[in-house]
Amino acid sequence: MIFEEQAVGMQAEISGKKPIRSLEDALDHCQCLGMRLSKQRRFVLELLWQAQEHLSAREIYNRLNQQGKDIGHTSVYQNLEALSAQGVIECVERSDGRLYGNISDPHSHVNCLDTHQILDVHVELPEEVIQQIEQQTGVKISHYTIDFLAIDRPKP
Ligand SMILES: [Zn+2]
């Protein structure tokens, strides 16, 4: 497995002190931010917490419609934008578009090059490694995300 460290992009600042770890936390977080919790906004959050995957807006729309939820395309897009801008959900920029996930605090990804699946992992680097990078670059590391590139494990 190869890995490369990536600088965290313009991630919306997470205003809550503790990370969002459940659908309930996400709903509470919205309320703390003064975000309106419409039926549609709840649908989107519920789906992301059920799926625990990284999905495109189109996939999210399709799945909600399969579940018989009354929500339009535009509403799905607008809610995803609002939720990711506020740091309630994750937005991953891919060359072929944006993907949304339920974990919003900094975390790492295992990207499978064969299946295109992205798995969330929380990785903590040893303190020495962080210090080494800080010494090499002269900056203070505040947080980090690692992109692991992986291949599908051959089935025995
Ligand atoms: Zn993720």
CA 105–ligand 1 middle distance (angstroms): 9
CA 89–ligand 1 middle distance (angstroms): 9
Show the tokens assigned to 138.
Answer: 């002269």
- Count H helices and E strands in the chain, helices first: 5, 6
Among the listed residues 119, 118, 120, 123, the one whose alpha carbon sits nearest the alpha carbon of residue 144: 123
Give the phi and the psi of residue 50 in degrees, each rounded to 5.
-70, -50
List pLDDT tens digits, range 69-99: 999 999 999 999 999 999 999 999 988 899 9
CA 130–ligand 1 middle distance (angstroms): 22
Separation CA 118–CA 54 (nearest Å):
7
Question: What are the residues whose beta carbon lies below 5 Å from ligand 1 (ion)?
Answer: 90, 101, 120
CA 119–ligand 1 middle distance (angstroms): 7
Question: Is the pTM here over 0.85, yes or no?
Answer: no
List pLDDT tens digits, range 104-153: 999 999 999 998 889 999 999 999 999 999 999 999 999 999 999 999 88
CA 141–ligand 1 middle distance (angstroms): 20
| 48 Rama sector, left if φ>0, alpha if ψ -120 to 50, beta otherwise | alpha
- Asked whether residue 7 carries a pLDDT value surpassing 60, the answer given is no
The arrangement of strands across the sheet holding 145-150 comes to 2-6, 145-150, 108-112, 118-121
Whole-number pLDDT of residue 17: 60
List pLDDT tens digits, range 11-57: 434 444 688 999 999 999 999 999 999 999 999 999 999 999 999 99
Whole-number pLDDT of residue 129: 96
In this structure, are residues 144 and 8 in contact, taking their beta carbons and an 8 Å threshold? yes
Show the tokens assigned to 80.
Answer: 């995803």
Q: Which domains does the chain have, with CATH numbers?
A: 19-101 (1.10.10.10), 108-150 (3.30.1490)
